[in-house]
Amino acid sequence: MGGCVCNSDCDCIARSKGCTLKSYGRGVGFVPNACPPNYESDGLLLCLPVCASGFHGNLNVCWANCPAGFHDDGAHCRKPASYGRGAGYAAWDWDRCMRDNPERGCEWSGLMIYPKCAPGFHAVGCCVCSPDCPSGFPDIGVSCRKPSYGRGVAISRVCPGSDQWTPGGLCYPRCADGYNGVGPMCWSNTCPSSNPDRCGPFCVLPGTCSEVTFEALKAGYDIGSFAFKTARCASGDLAACIKGVEKIGDTADAAAWIANNMPNCV
């Protein structure tokens, strides 16, 4: 098919009418491990919407945070300690109760008089002052039940920062300007003027793509896969060709095979 056409923009391929697009490796891909903005990890493998202010997430439910001084018991907030307000005053001792408790004052409970509970507390029965539950937290005695709400459907994790996701489900660093990513490789987007037509991973002379494709397939390149996953069948032996394909296996092995068996023209 003629000689090689080499220039600063591409590497020459033996026996072709063009050259292979410039490319470089961008490392081993990794599984997406980040959540998009306004999402957070569900603690497993997915992402869920971030809970509203004052709430925290547990799987797909957002639970209210317990206020300071309360103990978090999961679905409830255990109250701080209650306190007793004494034995009370007899019904005729109102004035004495008021003198003894000038700041808070007094109140009736049954036939007895008691000092009012301190701010943030309320009377339970005659003699105990129990902490108030925050607004929106139903009081269930020794604890306050947390408000909660569902936070929707989980979504898959994404690639972090500027790393891009590929159809293979892995993340790779973005390619440099002028390059396009295919798996672990970055390929140039442009062909040189001497070989202006794109033909899979090759740049060829106008009208020669079919010819180059035929020769490449004979040599073991699979242009259609854009990953060079077949081996060269130099002998024309179909069985040997199939064995070569089995040995290559993946893109990284194929790239190594090409480097070892298809050197650039000099």
Statement to judge: residues 203 and 248 lie in one domain? yes
More confident residue, 109 or 4: 109
Q: Which domain holds residue 61?
A: 35-75+144-157
Statement to judge: residues 174 and 247 lie in one domain? yes
DSSP type of residue 190: -
Question: Taking every pair of C-alpha atoms in the chain, what is the biggest distance, in angstroms?
Answer: 121
Determine the Cα–Cα distance for residues 77 and 103; give it in Å rounded to an integer.
30
Compute how many other C-beta atoms are within 10 angstroms of the C-beta atom of residue 263.
Answer: 12
**Residue 243 falls inside a structural domain:** yes
DSSP type of residue 118: P
Compute how many other C-beta atoms are within 10 angstroms of the C-beta atom of residue 107.
Answer: 13
Tokens of 183: 């798996």
Statement to judge: residues 255 and 165 lie in one domain? yes
Compute how many other C-beta atoms are within 10 angstroms of the C-beta atom of residue 88.
Answer: 19
Statement to judge: residues 27 and 100 lie in one domain? no
**Residue 187 falls inside a structural domain:** yes
DSSP SS3 for 133: coil
Q: Does the structure show a pLDDT above 60 at 115?
A: yes
Compute how many other C-beta atoms are within 10 angstroms of the C-beta atom of residue 22.
Answer: 19
**Residue 190 falls inside a structural domain:** yes
Check residue 165 and give its pLDDT. 81
Compute how many other C-beta atoms are within 10 angstroms of the C-beta atom of residue 19.
Answer: 25
Statement to judge: residues 96 and 121 lie in one domain? yes
Determine the Cα–Cα distance for residues 227 and 250; give it in Å rounded to an integer.
8
Statement to judge: residues 121 and 44 lie in one domain? no
Out of 42-46, 55-59, 214-218, pick the least confident: 214-218
Confidence tier at 43 by pLDDT (50, 70, 90):
confident
Statement to judge: residues 192 and 251 lie in one domain? yes
Determine the Cα–Cα distance for residues 66 and 8; give it in Å rounded to an integer.
66
**Residue 2 falls inside a structural domain:** no
Determine the Cα–Cα distance for residues 228 and 210; give it in Å rounded to an integer.
17
Whole-angstrom CA distances from 108 to 70, 73, 111, 131 are 29, 35, 7, 20
Check residue 44 and give its pLDDT. 84
Statement to judge: residues 126 and 238 lie in one domain? no
**Residue 180 falls inside a structural domain:** yes
Determine the Cα–Cα distance for residues 178 and 9; give it in Å rounded to an integer.
12
Phi, psi of 187 (to 5 degrees): -115, 140
pLDDT tens column, 52-108:
999 999 888 999 999 999 999 999 999 999 999 999 999 999 999 999 999 999 999
Determine the Cα–Cα distance for residues 223 and 229; give it in Å rounded to an integer.
9
**Residue 16 falls inside a structural domain:** yes
**Residue 67 falls inside a structural domain:** yes
Are the beta carbons of 205 and 18 closer than 8 angstroms? yes
Residues of the chain with pLDDT > 70, as a percent, come to: 73
Statement to judge: residues 103 and 217 lie in one domain? no
**Residue 5 falls inside a structural domain:** no
Per the structure, the count of domains in the chain is 3
DSSP SS3 for 21: strand
pLDDT tens column, 10-35:
444 333 467 778 888 898 889 999 99
